[in-house]
Chain A
Amino acid sequence: MLFSSVGFLFRFLPIFMIVYLTFPKYRNIVLLAGSLIFYGVGEPYFVLLLLLSVLINYGLSRYMFWEPRSPQVNRKKKSARRRKRALILAIVIDLGVLFVFKYWDFAAGNINRLSGHGLLPLLSLALPLGISFYTFQMLSYQIDCYRGTVKEQAKLLPFATYVCMFPQLIAGPIVRYSDVSGRMAERKVRIRDIENGLKLFTAGLGLKVILANQIGTLWNLIMTAGAGRLHALVAWLGAFAYSFQIYFDFWGYSVMAMGLGKMLGFSIPRNFDIPYVSRSVSEFWRRWHMTLGSWFKEYVYIPLGGSRKGSARTILNLFVVWALTGLWHGADWNFVLWGSAFFLIISLEKKTFGKWLENSKVLGHIYIIVLIPVTWVIFGITDMGQLAGYLGNMAGYHKEEILVGMTQLIRYLKEYGILLIACVIFATPLPGKVYWKWKDRWFMVLFLLLVFWWSVREIISGSNNPFLYFRF
């Protein structure tokens, strides 16, 4: 189920909230059951995989915290060894499942191609919804347990609730157990929380449905014509459209998750901090998908030694982090390329011009505005040939004659001009400031109501008439 669907907005959410508020004593059970229904509607089989993962991880964390009753010699040593064993098992199992579902075909396909024989069979498994997110969430829990950041082992119900809770289950943010552990045992939901949560949710819904979905059709339109035969300006327009789509889509989803979290009595960390106004790529990644960035920093970069072990080691660590970040986003070469590009840029920034850029007033912004759309194009086009064609077009290079030129550009601008301006405005800090300043004022309430119904209209026309969304 998606947040931006009629089923969620008008069936799941109201029924769930009524039950949730009626039985304050059983909030965790209600939340867990609701989340499993939420997930199970779309993934009737993979919900079992999710449950199994939760049970295995719970068992391993119990094993980690287990203290034998009878006094033993070398108790401390044995305990440490056991904890390590449990952690390694957890990492192997969690990443193993993720690997089989997400990366097997990619790895096997490449090995087969390299060897020239069909050494490994392709599985063609469907990717379970949200597996990248909940795997990382469970891993963070296990590592925190091992490190002692989580002092007390979670009971099965709170642990399962923490992993499965529907606001963040399928698209993040990646919540750490310490973010929510305080609210697990008991949580008060005040009327103001529901009010503010719903407002936040509506704002996110608007970002996703009104901005992201609409501007996405422009990218689709340009890609539909086909990469490789685009006028440079059209190619750039497409890159900007896609950059906006991916930002508002993901940001909107994260804001919806925050809003829902608030309605349930949690505080889910925020995931985006106006990334497009950054002045360097390093800064961009501190503001973009913040929970993933901090996950990699906390659990990969710093354990590897971070930047404290000399510059050669720092570069290597950066490489590992960015290769993994690239692969986390998808199993394909373009994601590897995408991650590597960030590795290169960020290493260069760290060693040379990063500080200088961040202190500049204008240059840093221009640098980001030009560079980031290029990286999103690499992210967005999986086919290597097409990707090369598109990037070539952006640079003004054409192998064949231009098919999409000025005529189409003018039409696109006419059709999408207003939307593009809206996207630019919403990429600045202004809308956030306005929202937080006046969110309780009546005009903002009415505006959000308008956003809500406008979004619903878009969703309905999209499902009844798929072509309003896709614009054929």
Chain B
Amino acid sequence: MNKNKMRVCLEILYNCPFVLLVIVTSFLFVLFFDETGILKIDKSIAVFQPINKEDISLFNAETVKKSQNSNEAAEKEKEKDADQAADTDENAGLRKEEKDGIEETNIKKTDIASLEREKNREKEENRATKFVEYAPIETNSRYYSDAGKVALTTAYDYVLENESYFNDAAFLGDSRTLGISDYAGLDGADFFCDNGMTIFKLLEDKGVTYQKTGEKVDLKKVLQEKRYGKIYIMLGMNELGYGNTNMYLKQYLKVLNQLKEWQPEATIYIMANLHVSREKNNMETEFNNININDKNVASARLANGKDIFYLDCNPLFTDEEGYLQGDLTFDGVHLYAQHYEKWRNFLFEHGVEREAETQKEDEKSAAGQLQEDAGYGGDTAE
């Protein structure tokens, strides 16, 4: 009896090794990795390094704000504005000092920031990037949430430039930046980009292709050796389904800190990720404009209007609902080659002359007020 059973078992084994192998490996796979989501364990957080103190202090404010409902947030915003208006005149000098201090927190690591400083930092940030708020929708994704606002191009007196402006520029990015490299005709600039590039991979050893030679280079070395006047960075598309927006923001900050350390004189442009078309926009996956906007808003928060600027080129290419116009793209994500000209002109229009900027710094709050006005009347859609 037992022998018979054994024989049957052996026969099965002999007859279907492939089925058994697939089943066994599937079990192991589900048990140990569960990338398939069958057990519904969300391990996405654990994959990354633990969050350190500095990051927490920096982004506490963000999380607190998100957890409150929009009404409260709006009220808080108003209060803050009033606050700010009140103390601009009185403590202008003091504020300036503090600002510099905050700059350091932003750029270099320092002790744990106090709540007071946190608040001021946020003010500073709000001065640099303007947001248009809207009622956020409910999202149920581990990758993102609805930011509830749209970031506008950093308000600034940009100057119209020509091609020579880009002779000391570096572009860091993914396939869309590759498009700029291929079709925008900015031959003077150095492009470091790859299909599928992410902010997480950017500074890896031999992580990114230098388009002039086609070789993989170590961006860390390049940026320490060569001086750049401007660094354009546009990353975020390949991060849509990776980690979450907070992680993206943290990594972005880390990269910016590095860039500032290696290239203290460079003007850094954070470029908004271009939205996708209506056909490509899919609310059931993480691949949609809400998520892209979430990433854009996060990166826009890092602009300071002094040496870090946020450029939103979306109004050039999107319709009134924010979708990338269908006739500008084949796959709903990338522009056709001929439309990069428009993008180039947009970059031309957003030149920053740093001498002019330092002068303005001295003009204190009045200038600041002007900047704000310019921001709302600027070329971005509201």
Question: Interface on A for B, CB 8 Å cutoff?
Answer: 6, 10-11, 14, 191-192, 194-195, 198-199, 202, 220, 223-226, 229, 400, 403-404, 407-408, 410-411, 414, 442, 445, 448-449, 452-453, 456, 460, 463-468, 470-472
A/B interface sample: 15 pairs, CB < 8 A: A11-B38, A191-B12, A194-B19, A220-B330, A225-B179, A400-B338, A408-B182, A410-B214, A411-B214, A463-B285, A464-B35, A465-B238, A466-B241, A467-B174, A472-B195
Q: Which of A11, A195, A224, A407 has the most CB of B within 10 A?
A: A224
Residues on B with beta carbons closer than 8 Å to the beta carbon of A468: 196
CB within 8 Å of A: which B322-355 residues: 329-331, 333-334, 336-338
When the two chains form their complex, are residues B337 and A404 in contact, meaning their CB atoms are under 8 A apart? yes
Question: Once bound together, how far apart are the Cα atoms of A463 and B286, in whole Å?
Answer: 9
Q: CA of A472 to CA of B174 in the docked complex: distance in angstroms?
A: 7
The answer on a CB contact under 8 Å between B21 and A224 is: no
Chain A residues within an 8 Å CB radius of B175: 471-472
Instruction: Verify if B45 is at the interface (C-beta below 8 Å from A).
Output: no
Binds A, one of B22-30, B71-79, B103-111, B309-317: B22-30
Other A-B pairs beyond A194-B19, A411-B214, A460-B35, 14, CB < 8 Å: A11-B38, A191-B19, A195-B15, A202-B18, A220-B330, A223-B330, A224-B179, A224-B330, A224-B334, A225-B179, A225-B336, A410-B214, A449-B22, A468-B196
- Please name all residues of chain B whose beta carbon is closer than 8 Å to the beta carbon of A410 when the two chains form the complex: 214
A14 surroundings in chain B (CB, below 8 A) = 26
Asked if A404 and B182 sit within 8 Å, CB to CB, the answer is yes
Query: In the complex the two chains form, is B25's CB within 8 Å of A449's CB?
Result: yes
User: With A223-B331, A470-B333, A471-B196 in contact, is A403–B18 under 8 Å at CB?
Assistant: no
Asked if A198 and B195 sit within 8 Å, CB to CB, the answer is no
Nearest-neighbor residue (CB-CB) of A263 within chain B? B19
Contacts of B334 in A (CB 8 A): 224, 472
Chain A residue with the shortest CB-CB distance to B195: A471
CB distance from A163 to the nearest CB of B (A): 28
Contacts of B18 in A (CB 8 A): 195, 198-199, 202, 445, 448-449
Q: How far is the CA of A194 from the CA of B29 in the complex (A)?
A: 21
Q: Which of B17, B183, B240, B329 contacts A445 (CB 8 A)?
A: B17
Q: Give residues 57-80 of B contacting A (CB, 8 Å).
A: none
Mark contacts of B241-267 with chain A using CB atoms, 8 A cut-off: 1 yes-contact digit, 0 otherwise. 110000000000000000000000000
A197's nearest neighbour on chain B, judged by CB, is B19
What residues of chain B lie closer than 8 Å to A463, measured between beta carbons?
Answer: 241, 285
Q: How many A-B residue pairs have CB under 8 A?
A: 112
Contact indicator A194/B16 (Cβ below 8 Å): yes
CA distance A404 to B330 in the complex (A): 15
* Tally of chain B residues near chain A (CB < 8 A): 41
Interface majority SS (helix, strand, loop, mixed), chain A: helix
Asked if B337 and A403 make an inter-chain contact with CB atoms under 8 angstroms apart, the answer reads: yes
**Cα A229 to Cα B195 with chains together (Å):** 21
CB neighbours of B19 from chain A (8 A): 191, 194-195, 198
Residues on the B chain within 8 Å of A453, using CB: 25, 29
Known: A191-B15, A229-B337, A442-B17. Contact between A466 and B330, CB under 8 A? Answer: no
Q: Which residue of B has the minimal Cβ distance to A411?
A: B214
B16 & A403 in contact (Cβ 8 Å cutoff): no
Q: Are B337 and A472 in contact (CB under 8 A)?
A: no
List A contacts of B127 (CB < 8 A): none
- Whole-angstrom CA separation of A223 from B337 in the bound complex: 10
7 closest A-B pairs by beta carbon, nearest first, are A226-B336, A195-B16, A403-B337, A472-B175, A224-B334, A467-B238, A471-B195
In the complex, B237 has a CB within 8 A of chain A: yes
Taken together as a complex, chains A and B put the C-alpha atoms of A410 and B215 apart, in Å, by 13
**B residues near A220, Cβ cutoff 8 Å:** 330-331
The answer to whether B287 touches A466, judged by C-beta atoms less than 8 angstroms apart, is yes
* B182 & A225 in contact (Cβ 8 Å cutoff): yes
Least CB distance from A462 to B in Å reads 10
Instruction: List the A side residues contacting B29 at CB < 8 Å.
Output: 453, 456
Contact: B195 with A10, CB < 8 Å? no
Alpha-carbon distance between A37 and B60 when the two chains are bound, in angstroms: 45
When distances are taken between beta carbons in the complex, the residues of chain B under 8 Å from A11 are 38
Question: Looking at the complex, which one of B12, B22, B183, B242 makes contact with A465 (CB distance below 8 Å)?
Answer: B242
Interface bits B280-296 vs A (CB < 8 Å: 1, else 0): 00000111000000000
Using known A-B contacts A224-B330, A226-B337, A403-B183, determine if residue A467 contacts B16 with beta carbons closer than 8 Å. no
- Is the C-beta of B301 less than 8 angstroms from some C-beta in chain A? no
Instruction: Let me know if B176 is at the binding interface, CB within 8 A.
Output: yes
* Nearest CB in chain B: distance from A325 CB, A: 26
B25 contacts which chain A residues (CB < 8 A)?
A: 449, 453
